[in-house]
Structure 1
């Protein structure tokens, strides 16, 4: 985990440099960050990290500062003969790419990064974020110059925290709760979107997009179907291997589901690493519990795990003030306790490199819209089977499903409000994608931004680096171009993952068609803690200040949620916004107390 703050100016010097460790200690209660502070040709920098490793390169012409992990260094060095064999530091690779290809050289990197590249000779500053937005990057401008940081809280001293942009929350709601535009909740504070470069030069501020999944060339087609499974497994193993640490102890958040189990069995085969799974289990809530599956998998691989019993850790106790404050709303914060307690336990046992199965659902689940792709390929029998199975499983009309998923197929409408500019924007984008299962993957990946709360808030509180092998650029590019039958199966979700790891997993996991949910636990949490939640009925921000919903509809939705009935798709987004607003004003009050 790294945090950094950079000041860039042409004609101003700050008399005092901020104590970044002090800021982190106050915000995250994390006391032991390693820090380094220094000057560059146009200002200063300050970096903190959980390990004494920093990405800094400075000479008379170029400065590179930030958080950079490169996964394809060997491949890149082949393009860069001037790089010395004994000096493959990420910042050296970036410098060599910039000298050879200009700023567009970053598109060749496979990795996770957010950094600033300063060209002192050209008087240009580039803010660069990785392809999938795994690392975060923000900036603001004042009369003194530009302040750039890995996290919003590091910039708080340089903008007016008491003024929030109400338009942001309508955007957040319309985007489905995973906004990745330049907007933040604060005036004059901006995000660098994923796969983007912000160029600051003089008074000019330009945004360059350097990668788009739709434009990735299709890889080689295989005649033997088994080759797809072998290649998938090879790339997946690389994705896991890139994210384990040989210098730190590795934890796997193991649920007993297909995604996290595949990560565990893959990591288990890597030599010279210390690995331990951490799992949430239940005694009273049997419908939520996967303890038996986990135990059998661990016995097969002769491993012991660490368990956190969740029965007594109900959600919403003290809601919403129980939620750790983040500087943006996050839907995943509503049920943060699972991740919080598991990562806390891993940290207490000294396992600070954490592997998560997040994004496996986004990437590999497939979609009923794939029926349209099957019909286009004249695979009528399989298409009918898929439509029938879906109708039976969901207890819905086959005719209605035919109209929705085939005749009037509109994938974008499942993600965005048809009246919003997000719907229009992404409809235009996916219209250029022929296959409907690819449209689904493209849109699902927008939702992976929700993991930032887990990474930058909960992980940071315990000094843990949270890694997501399914958010590997090369893995995603390969999956995007797989034939539809490897993405969607009418009987089993994630067919290629099941095929790739069926020998390493146990049959109960491979053959399980029903994903374990926590409905029973959540309903109990709501009922037990309704005294806290019910306070959201009066003086409600989403109703009275932000005007995102009427009071009548808000009360109706809360009542349905309380009674276990179906709520609208945007209810949890509204609830996350309401929780965030209340925590924001509490934070604001404490600041001036």
Structure 2
């Protein structure tokens, strides 16, 4: 801990790399005018180190914290633009009497802030802020209501009033008089990567993916890899194996881990995981899915001073503990693959906008062969017309369509009327914030969908409690920018999603995985019924300020004894999570 005057820093660091062990945190510069608390890792440590050395910087150790501290000395606020990776940090600048903090491009590491009178508290963990306060803030009923409706429209809010998350790709600065936040990064909107052949797309894709995995593999201990048997996580496992064989893996070794669901259900992926293990001659450890009791979720919420994890996050608890007990410090996941490997049939719009008639007709013929004329012509016609319309006309059409949507209910009837109105207002504001251009809107949803931003940042707590740092190669800035720079037609073609990815991984994965067109499902009916039982029991009392009681109990009570509609899973989780939170927050 470092405290001087009105500024102080403290750090509890999970050391995952050899370099990080060279610097105790908080890390101060030579004269004590600056100090940093850094969480996460840099993907561009090699380039940043070379850049700083070329500018005359003195690097006392090889830690990422030292690199960011020297970057701040060199570029000031602009230092964040030179940092790439998964990180959050706070710098105490005693020279200017200010705190400066930042999060990575996708907010994969959290950073929360709360202003308590003339105090500003910053932390990567909500519980740390709550512990430092004399009294807890009030619950944020608007946020909880949105969650109970099964949606989230603002990833900066939390379950506590006025305790907020710094937005992804932003920095903040506070000198006591002014509190300022600024965006430092935007996803590029151009699509400059257009190759003549599928083989060229596949080769570039493979290089970008393997390099992103290499940069995410830096660890002082053997890596743990989640291997579900799906196309995304299996590709990560195969890439790690290839890098290890080539002597390019930045970890001493690696192991695979897969969850074992109930045989005969959509959660059972063991045959695919075993096929991957056999293909690359590496054992994958099989760990049963964790189905915790109700009290476990309540206790997690109480410990974290936050919402409990959803069941499809909690299910990995034993896998994470197993990996940690086997000596791993880093768990690499395939999350993000659905967003950045997959595509959509909006390529008709792209061909029309570029006046590429030959490409349009080729896609039309291929889609007709797979989907038939009836399912292809309307889509091609809409895409063709949309691609040719000027932006002002598209904006007008979108306004007309949104006018109808604003009158549609976006929140369940059992919420109190004022909260339903609040959720509807948040939904309308979010829709208005999206770009008019349909391609840019689709890209924004992939890059910054509020629910995804929120869930990814909060899902780090559970692995951390097991001594693991979670890493996301598919969500690295390098891979996201590459994917966003390629046309939809490279990712979706002939009815085959993740088209280029499948080509790129041919030979690295078994055909049974390359050609797989199914996905696992983890909507556990028993867990949903358990949550409904809690909601209508203890939960009904603590949720009284948010719901119309009779309608609420009728909605969830009838699902305690029956099969739960999977479409209600996120409403059930959101309501259950809100009840768990309010039970201790009050």
What TM-score results when the alignment is normalised by the length of structure 1?
0.79
1:291 aligned onto 2:270? yes
Matches of 1:192 and 1:169 in 2, distance apart? 19
Map 1:169-568 → 2, pairs under 5 A = 169-172=144-147, 176-177=151-152, 179-181=154-156, 183-213=157-187, 215=188, 221-269=194-242, 270=244, 271=247, 273-282=252-261, 284-310=263-289, 313-314=290-291, 321=298, 325=302, 326-329=304-307, 333-376=310-353, 377-378=356-357, 379-380=360-361, 382-383=363-364, 386=367, 419-432=424-437, 434=439, 438-444=443-449, 447-456=452-461, 458-518=462-522, 522-523=524-525, 525-526=527-528, 530=529, 533-537=532-536, 540=540, 544-547=544-547, 552=551, 555-556=554-555, 559=558, 563-564=562-563, 566=565
Matches of 2:322 and 2:163 in 1, distance apart? 35
Q: Give the direction of change, closer, same or farther, for the CA distance of 1:342–1:40 in structure 2 (3 Å limit).
A: same
Q: Give the direction of change, closer, same or farther, for the CA distance of 1:535–1:576 in structure 2 (3 Å limit).
A: closer
Please tell me whether the aligned partners of residues 250 and 354 of structure 1 are also in contact (alpha carbons under 8 angstroms): yes
Q: Give the direction of change, closer, same or farther, for the CA distance of 1:231–1:385 in structure 2 (3 Å limit).
A: closer
> How many Å apart are 1:128 and its aligned residue?
1.0
Partner in structure 1 of residue 28 of structure 2 = 57
Q: Give the direction of change, closer, same or farther, for the CA distance of 1:154–1:319 in structure 2 (3 Å limit).
A: closer
Please tell me whether the aligned partners of residues 372 and 405 of structure 1 are also in contact (alpha carbons under 8 angstroms): yes
Alignment deviations for residues 454-480 of structure 1 (CA, whole Å, 9 cap, x no partner): 312x11221111111111011101101
Q: Give the direction of change, closer, same or farther, for the CA distance of 1:559–1:398 in structure 2 (3 Å limit).
A: farther
Partner in structure 1 of residue 123 of structure 2 = 149
Q: Which deviates the most, 469-478 or 442-451?
A: 442-451
Indicate the SS of the match to 1:141: strand
Alignment deviations for residues 413-467 of structure 1 (CA, whole Å, 9 cap, x no partner): 89x95944455445444225645653553355862431233312x1122111111
Matches of 2:299 and 2:115 in 1, distance apart? 33
> How many Å apart are 1:297 and its aligned residue?
1.6
Please tell me whether the aligned partners of residues 373 and 436 of structure 1 are also in contact (alpha carbons under 8 angstroms): no
Matches of 1:341 and 1:145 in 2, distance apart? 39
Partner in structure 1 of residue 390 of structure 2 = none
Q: Give the direction of change, closer, same or farther, for the CA distance of 1:292–1:334 in structure 2 (3 Å limit).
A: closer
> How many Å apart are 1:566 and its aligned residue?
4.5
Alignment deviations for residues 264-321 of structure 1 (CA, whole Å, 9 cap, x no partner): 01111223622111111245335432222221221221111211234xx547656864
Structure 2 residue runs of 5 or longer lacking an equivalent are: 16-20, 387-396, 411-422
> How many Å apart are 1:161 and its aligned residue?
2.1
Partner in structure 1 of residue 47 of structure 2 = 75
What TM-score results when the alignment is normalised by the length of structure 2?
0.79
Matches of 2:138 and 2:338 in 1, distance apart? 37
Indicate the SS of the match to 1:206: strand
> How many Å apart are 1:162 and its aligned residue?
5.8
Partner in structure 2 of residue 66 of structure 1 = 38
Q: Using CA pairs under 8 Å that are at least 6 residues apart, name the structure with larger relative contact order, 1 or 2.
A: 2
Matches of 1:345 and 1:448 in 2, distance apart? 27
Q: Give the direction of change, closer, same or farther, for the CA distance of 1:480–1:557 in structure 2 (3 Å limit).
A: farther
Indicate the SS of the match to 1:242: helix
Map 1:97-108 → 2, pairs under 5 A = 97-108=71-82
Matches of 1:173 and 1:317 in 2, distance apart? 18
Matches of 1:409 and 1:565 in 2, distance apart? 35
Please tell me whether the aligned partners of residues 543 and 554 of structure 1 are also in contact (alpha carbons under 8 angstroms): no
Matches of 2:563 and 2:343 in 1, distance apart? 27
Q: Give the direction of change, closer, same or farther, for the CA distance of 1:425–1:381 in structure 2 (3 Å limit).
A: same
RMSD: 3.8
Partner in structure 2 of residue 119 of structure 1 = 93
Q: Give the direction of change, closer, same or farther, for the CA distance of 1:483–1:307 in structure 2 (3 Å limit).
A: same
Please tell me whether the aligned partners of residues 235 and 505 of structure 2 are also in contact (alpha carbons under 8 angstroms): yes
1:48 aligned onto 2:22? no
> How many Å apart are 1:113 and its aligned residue?
1.4
Partner in structure 2 of residue 132 of structure 1 = 106
Partner in structure 2 of residue 13 of structure 1 = none
Q: Which deviates the most, 313-322 or 501-510?
A: 313-322
